[in-house]
Amino acid sequence: MIVTKSYEDSCQRAAELIEAAVLANPQAKLGLATGGTPLPIYRRLIEDCKAGKISFAKVRTVNLDEYCGLNGSNTQSYRWFMDHNLFNEIDIDKTNTYVPSGLGDLAANCREVDKKVRENGVPELQLLGIGNNGHIGFNEAADLLHTETHIEQLTESTIAANARFFDKSEDVPTQAITMGLSSILAAKSIVLVATGAAKAAAIRGLLCNDEVTTQNPSTFLKLHPNATIIIDAALATAAGYEN
Ligand code: PGA
């Protein structure tokens, strides 16, 4: 658990943890996330790679999720996001990067993600954001959660939160393919970064009691032996978290 002075500092700490994993094992497997939160983390990785401080040449990556119905050339797809916000700017071999596909035979795509995760081996580090409702990946708050990769119906609060990235609200996808809880929790280490008052309730559930509930999927991280939650002081205060 790390409380930083600012979101910028949180992203710096997360980038350092990712780079430490890659320096320790240049062939590291990384689980990566999309969304607004990781953008400054990826910018730091790009900067350090361009400055020759770190190489991703032998790193393999798997992303958590993808919208259904968008192909990789759609600027809202997570494949596009990862290519343009990270992969195209670092020395990674693109064939070693994997983002689930939300097109075509979705059941087959789900099986492919789980196969890919098994083939790649357990990630050294899984980066996570968190939804306003506590979702991790796109595992939404619900009466039950899934262990394996599956198709998730996005909740109204997630669709509303994602709408900021789209010109028209009717364009926001309502379904996504997402890794389940067991693949996420299998990572050797997990780094979750959160910022903003909208995340306060989810972070309170994650940090301020010992309860685990499907209504806040992030609470399952309490079962992980090496999960680092990084939040800034403003969010800690909003969540009522005391160091
Ligand atoms: P955000 O999304 O980083 O855009 O807030 C996080 C998430 O939904 O997991």
Q: Domains, the chain, ranges and CATH?
A: 2-239 (3.40.50.1360)
* pTM of the predicted model as reported, rounded to 2 decimal places: 0.97
Cβ of 21 below 6 Å from ligand 1: no
Please work out whether the CB of residue 130 comes within 6 Å of at least one atom of ligand 1.
Answer: yes
- Confidence grade of residue 231 (pLDDT, cut at 50, 70, 90): very high
Best of 66, 126, 130, 162 to mutate for ligand 1, by most ligand atoms within 8 A of CB?
130
Give alpha helix (H) positions in the chain.
7-24, 39-50, 78-85, 106-120, 156-162, 181-185, 200-207, 233-239
Q: Is 41 in the pocket of ligand 1 (CB under 6 A)?
A: no
Active site includes 140? yes
Burial of 20 (0-12, 13-18, 19+ CB in 10 A): middle
C-alpha of residue 36 to centroid of ligand 1, in Å: 6
Candidates 64, 47, 241, 78; CA nearest to 139 is: 64
Alpha carbon of 33 to ligand 1 centroid (Å): 9
Place of tokens 């309860």: 211
The token pair at 234 is: 């403003």
Say how far apart CA 16 and CA 188 lie, in whole Å.
16
Give the model's pLDDT for residue 97.
Answer: 98
In angstroms, rounded to a whole number, what is the distance separating the alpha carbons of residues 102 and 145? 20
Instruction: Compute, in angstroms, the gap from residue 78 CA to the centroid of ligand 1.
Output: 12
Which pLDDT does position 243 carry in this prediction?
75
Tokens of 189: 């280490």
Res. 63: pLDDT tops 80: yes
Q: Mean pLDDT, the chain, as a whole number?
A: 97
| Strand bridging mode 60-63 / 29-32 | parallel
pLDDT at 156 over 80: yes
